[in-house]
Structure 1
Amino acid sequence: MRRMILTSSLLLTLGTTAMAGQVYTWVDKQGVTHFSEQPPNDQSSTALGTATLAPRLPAPEKLPPAKPSDPEQEAVERKVKRDIAIQETKRKEYCETVRANLAQLENNPRLRAQINGEMRRLTEEERQARIAETQRAIEGSCR
């Protein structure tokens, strides 16, 4: 079994390198087409195109070392990052609240809301409208 595996892997290795060579074709006097690694001496032949490896790209040039940053620019970048983090936190809180509201709207058919200063029960149409509005808010703001 080991001998067969060794032989197979050796043939595969040698077979791939043999395929990389140039191949020539020609037709003899009897009209038979021949293929060979070497062209014939007494007849004209045609070299067939073979797959070649892609040319190597030149190594990328080394980038110059980074210049020391301006302290003012670093302060601006820190402020922007902090503002983005605050906005992201607010967005997550908003999404949690909106999702909780949607769950309440979907699970409770008898909801009360304060409208024009007085508490009253929402009709089914108002409830469905609020569900649709809340779903649009989630799709627009929450991922």
Structure 2
Amino acid sequence: MRWMILAATLALAVGSATAQAAQIYKWVDAQGVTHFDAQPPVGQSAQEVDTQKPVAPPPPSPSRIDSSPEQQAVDAKVKKQVAAQEAQRKEYCSTQRTNLAQLQNNPRVREEVNGEFRRFTEEERQARIAEVRKSIDDTCD
């Protein structure tokens, strides 16, 4: 029984090795279509494809090509600016969401105008709710 398992394993190993060694041919037909096949085309030249050769790594990304100190300094500066803008946007969104909650949940909203407090009419409150919602939709996630 052990010999049968050993023989089967050996046969599979040899069979898979020969399957991996099969040659592949590549050619382009008259219409410009590229073909791959185990048999070369009759009457046409074909290129043998090396299936055992490892695939080349992808080319470096554009951000990695120019790694001069000047470019790195500019990249760092821009990253800081973007991070600061994102922090400001998040703070703005938080404030706008708080304002919206106040407007929606408090029918007696007041506003200070020239040192005096004035209560919003219902139309003004609804208009302000619409403005704040639009601002949140346009700016926030």
Superposed pair shares fold, TM > 0.5: yes
Which of 108, 130, 133 in structure 2 is aligned with 1:132? 130
Calculate the aligned-residue CA RMSD, in Å.
2.8
2:75 counterpart letter in structure 1: E
Give the equivalent residue in structure 2 for 1:112. 110
Which residue in 2 is equivalent to 1:45? none
Which structure would you say has the larger Rg? 1
- CA shift at 1:118, angstroms? 2.4
Question: 1:94/1:64 Cα in 2 relative to 1: closer, same or farther (>3 Å)?
Answer: closer
Q: Using the alignment, how far apart are the partners of 1:77 and 1:91 within structure 2?
A: 21
Larger helix percent = 2
AA aligned to 2:73 is A
The equivalent position to 2:56 in structure 1, one of 57, 61, 82, is: 61
Distance 1:101 1:68, change over 3 A: closer
Q: Distance in 2 between matches of 1:117 and 1:77?
A: 47
1:40-83 deviation per Cα after TM superposition (whole angstroms, max 9, x unaligned)? xxxxxxxxxxxxxx959976434567657100000000000000
5+ residue gaps, structure 2: 1-34, 38-48
Change (3 A) 1:120 1:64: closer
* TM-score, structure 2 normalization: 0.56
Cα separation, partners in 2 of 1:78 and 1:129, compared to 1, 3 Å: same
Gap runs ≥5 in structure 1: 1-53
